[in-house]
Structure 1
Amino acid sequence: MRWFRVVLLLIFCLASFVVLPAQAEPEKSVFVIPVQNEIETGLAATLQHAFQEADQSGAEAIVLDINTLGGRIDAAVDIADQIRSSKVPVIAYIRGQAISAGAYLAMNATHIAMAPGSTIGAAEVRNTDGSTVDPKVVAFWRSEMTAAAEFHGRDEKLAVGMVDRNTEIPGVKERGELVSLSAQQAVDHKIADGLYPTLQDALKHYGYDGFSIQNFQPSLAEKIARFVTKPSVIPLLLIVGLIGLGAELLLPGHLVPGLIGAGCLGLYFFGSMVAGFAGWEAVILFLAGIVFLVAEIFVAGFGILGTAGVLSIGTAVVMAAYDTTYGLKVMLIAMALAAVVMGVLFKYFGHLGVWNRLIHKDAQEKAAGYVPGRNLRHMLYQIGRTVTPLRPSGTAVFNGQRFDVVSDGAFVPVETDVQIVLIEGTRIVVKAKQSEPNTVIQRVPETE
């Protein structure tokens, strides 16, 4: 046992001097995120997910593959915040156009690389409806472009010239024009670092040659969310959704309007939830509003349930919107248009739906055996005889026919002559006839 312990001690000492093989280092990578088409709120939510995925994968750099004509300012500002707060360098590789909000995103990146034939600039803010832009918005956008240029040491005047056409930059643009630079001009004015035909060329320049490339692929849910959260799509979904549900209430059993309406509203809430604008509370509130509206039809709620339903639906839509002001405006427009369409449907097709079951429309036609009431006004002032006492109602005979009559308030015994003094529809009012003859009152001569 002693020798055995000595041998074990020697083995342990030798093992402590043995150099263990080094573990293989993880492969270094670059994370590429496409920024294509329009910049909108759905893209901002997608890029937030992309930046999180890049951070979790341990990427050495993030590349924004930019080719866009711009989009919404608020979405661009949200994306720019993600770019500036990124822990890894961000390279903006412009392979096509970086116009308007696209130029703003590129200016916020750590590096800008241009592909031959690409352009950057023309970032003037405009309203989609052609109306005059609020000066406060213009001032804000100008300060944002200036701050983006300052953050990375780029020419501030060129950044301002991309936004404000009234800024004059000698040798670059005259007053009244916007700065829009070609790839070579961007390099000459030190906005971009160089011209690189391919992304691999740009990565080699920045020291990422040989790094593996991870391409971010948005999920199907994120692609759907990007589409349905576009400002041009949201009003259409709400209008068609409200009309579809309303048509299903008017014309139950057809299913098609209800399915279309539910599908449109479902897409709206689904996109808002995937984009991070809404939670389940908005969906629950919307469903509660539908229940209230249905209950208002079948329960006499004096309008309370209907009002609660409309408020619940409106609140849910506003809560699910990326901006409450925009959501409120779109919801009011959608409700107004839906009300007009519902009015037309009710006028021309209301007889086919549930309303036909709630309204009594049976007519007492003569062909069905109903006899209309007789006109008794010709009997006024006729004289007859009671066959029952009038207390005050009873029966009397006129011209050999029995009629239900009522006295003028006094008790009239049986076998009393009565005279009709009032006829109201089928109601006959009689009065006991005086048996004594009429007395003529003599006129008293005037005294002198």
Structure 2
Amino acid sequence: MGRKLRPAMHPLMLGFWLICLGLGFGLSIHSLAQDDSPSADSQGTAHVLTINGAIGPATMDYLLRGLEHAEEQQARLVIIRMDTPGGLMTSMRDMIKAILASPVPVATYVSPSGARAASAGTYILYGSHIAAMAPATHLGSATPVQMGGVPGQDQPEEKKQPTDGEESGDGQGSEENQESAPSGSAMERKVLEDAVAYIRSLAERHDRNADWAERAVREAVNLSAPNALEQNVIDVIAADIPELLNKINGRTVVMAQGERTLQTANLALERFDPDWRTRLLSVLTDPNVAYFLMIIGFYGIIFELANPGSLVPGVIGAICLVLALFAFQVLSVNYAGLALILLGLAFIVAEAFMPSFGILGLGGVIAFVVGSVILMDGTHQAISLPVIGGTAAVAAGFMLWTVTRFMTVRKRKVVSGVEQMEGEEGLALDTFTAQEDQYRGHARLNGERWNAISSAPIEKGQTVRVEKVEGLTAVVIPLNETTTHTASS
């Protein structure tokens, strides 16, 4: 037998492989040409992040993602343009940890003119590898305080501002502010001393003025940009980012891996602006918003269980509850406080379904208020007291309305059932006949024919009143009134 010949390759298949080889060859040539030719990547890039507003979990998430992106793109520098009144201590510390551990140098730049780096912003400025400010900016007021203002307050941390007797421009405080005698509770002193040690360690790491940093924490003093440069609080003053890049070129900074000399001349700028996720997270992680979402979610689920098939309360409640749980996962939450809030709400709802004359409701309000106060852990993070008071007042009002309604119902006359017959008046349908020691007959009561008995004789057509009901027999008494019409049988 002859050897079987292998069939030739189909022309379409041959064309396909030729196209693949051509594309591969073209991509290889393009890659080699891109590596050999000068481009923006060869000169390096500087990634610009923007922090505008209060420091919180959303800001921390945005900074962490920005630093990761800069590391992936092998950027030479990260510039944080900052204008902040302060914010949460826990978020600020996480941001500084990320900056100190970043393999990419970070320059925090207080900009534009008129901006500030107050409170938490001062710590971030001290923790950055390069601290820079634009003209007509200031920093300071780094005293930790407990946040408790109303929602939407723009300056939650700036409760200790320099008075008229302080010269905030050059950082010189009055004699009263220079007194270092301890004041406040033990917890306040512990928080203050911890903040002082923290900012001094940051200043010493980057060889900046640690004494002024301590005064910024203890006395809430402030400095303008020229005075900050003069007192070695910052490294450079620049009108814009290109000037900043030129002035810090060749500087040596302390990184986690050791010292590094910056090469920032002619770096290309790449912006990493906050996206919709960061903006949404900034709203959800507000402690007051998360608090309201939890309450709305709880009541929505309760109303759906009480009225199965309503759908609207259940859908809204489920969404709000999931968003609240997400916010609590990001925030530093005391779970004992969360349990007390849920227990208090459950007691208040139980008061409506199982009246206890206020015991369950009162206990629910107390548990609700205590849980709300201790819900948030961490410095500078708390739910506004007016919000707690208003919500508790609404819950107490609902409980009071429920109790009063049930008390009114208890006093109201029965309108159905056998009990409703007591006291009702009717008409004798026949003359009662004497049987042993009582009289028996029939009466029309509420449109119905009833067997009736009485201890006194009753004539046909006479009005009677029910004293009580025994089974299917009504015990009646005559009212000494007779009707002029003849009762039908």
TM-score higher than 0.5: yes
> Contact 1:37–1:68 (CA<8 Å) still a contact in 2?
yes
Deviation at 1:364, TM superposition (A): 3.4
Q: Deviations over 1:167-225 (max 9, x none)?
A: xxxxxxxxxxx432211112212222222111121122233233222222333223211
> Contact 1:272–1:321 (CA<8 Å) still a contact in 2?
no
> Contact 2:126–2:199 (CA<8 Å) still a contact in 1?
yes
Q: Aligned match of 2:215 in 155, 161, 169?
A: 161
What does residue range 99-118 of structure 1 map to in structure 2 within 5 Å? 99-118=118-137
Q: Provide closer, same or farther for how the CA distance between residues 398 and 346 of structure 1 changes in structure 2, counting only shifts above 3 A.
A: closer
> Contact 1:64–1:91 (CA<8 Å) still a contact in 2?
yes
Normalised by the length of structure 2, the TM-score is 0.54
> Which residue does 2:289 correspond to in 1?
233
Q: Aligned match of 2:140 in 113, 116, 121?
A: 121
Q: Provide closer, same or farther for how the CA distance between residues 398 and 220 of structure 1 changes in structure 2, counting only shifts above 3 A.
A: closer
Deviation at 1:61, TM superposition (A): 1.4
Aligned residues: 345
Contiguous gaps of at least 5 residues in structure 1:
1-19, 166-177, 279-285, 300-312, 352-360, 375-385, 389-394, 406-424, 429-448
For 1:161 and 1:327, the matched residues in 2 are separated by 26
Q: Secondary structure at the match of 2:274?
A: coil
What does residue range 12-411 of structure 1 map to in structure 2 within 5 Å? 24=35, 26-27=41-42, 28-95=44-111, 96-129=115-148, 134-165=188-219, 178-205=220-247, 206=249, 207-246=263-302, 261-272=317-328, 275=330, 336=392, 339-343=395-399, 346=402, 363-364=415-416, 372=424
> In structure 2, what residue type is equivalent to 1:363?
V
Contiguous gaps of at least 5 residues in structure 2:
1-30, 149-158, 161-183, 250-262, 334-340, 355-367, 407-412, 427-433, 442-451, 456-466, 471-489
Identity across the alignment (%): 24
Q: Secondary structure at the match of 1:24?
A: helix
> In structure 1, what residue type is equivalent to 2:63?
L
Q: Secondary structure at the match of 1:112?
A: strand
Q: Secondary structure at the match of 2:78?
A: strand
Q: Deviations over 1:129-160 (max 9, x none)?
A: 47957110010111111111001011111111
Q: Provide closer, same or farther for how the CA distance between residues 398 and 61 of structure 1 changes in structure 2, counting only shifts above 3 A.
A: closer
- When Rg is computed on C-alpha atoms for both structures, the one with the higher figure is 1
For 2:215 and 2:147, the matched residues in 1 are separated by 21
> Contact 1:250–1:346 (CA<8 Å) still a contact in 2?
no
Q: Secondary structure at the match of 2:229?
A: helix
> In structure 1, what residue type is equivalent to 2:232?
K
Deviation at 1:81, TM superposition (A): 1.0
> Which residue does 2:458 correspond to in 1?
none
> Contact 1:226–1:271 (CA<8 Å) still a contact in 2?
no
For 2:384 and 2:237, the matched residues in 1 are separated by 46
For 2:311 and 2:424, the matched residues in 1 are separated by 43
For 1:239 and 1:398, the matched residues in 2 are separated by 63
> Contact 1:242–1:334 (CA<8 Å) still a contact in 2?
no
> Contact 1:242–1:338 (CA<8 Å) still a contact in 2?
no
Deviation at 1:235, TM superposition (A): 2.8
> Contact 1:31–1:61 (CA<8 Å) still a contact in 2?
yes
Q: Provide closer, same or farther for how the CA distance between residues 343 and 30 of structure 1 changes in structure 2, counting only shifts above 3 A.
A: same
Q: Provide closer, same or farther for how the CA distance between residues 298 and 345 of structure 1 changes in structure 2, counting only shifts above 3 A.
A: closer
Q: Provide closer, same or farther for how the CA distance between residues 219 and 270 of structure 1 changes in structure 2, counting only shifts above 3 A.
A: farther
> Contact 1:146–1:156 (CA<8 Å) still a contact in 2?
yes
For 1:333 and 1:22, the matched residues in 2 are separated by 68
RMSD: 5.7
For 1:115 and 1:155, the matched residues in 2 are separated by 19
Normalised by the length of structure 1, the TM-score is 0.58
> In structure 1, what residue type is equivalent to 2:224?
S
Q: Secondary structure at the match of 2:80?
A: strand
Q: Secondary structure at the match of 2:287?
A: coil
Deviation at 1:38, TM superposition (A): 0.3
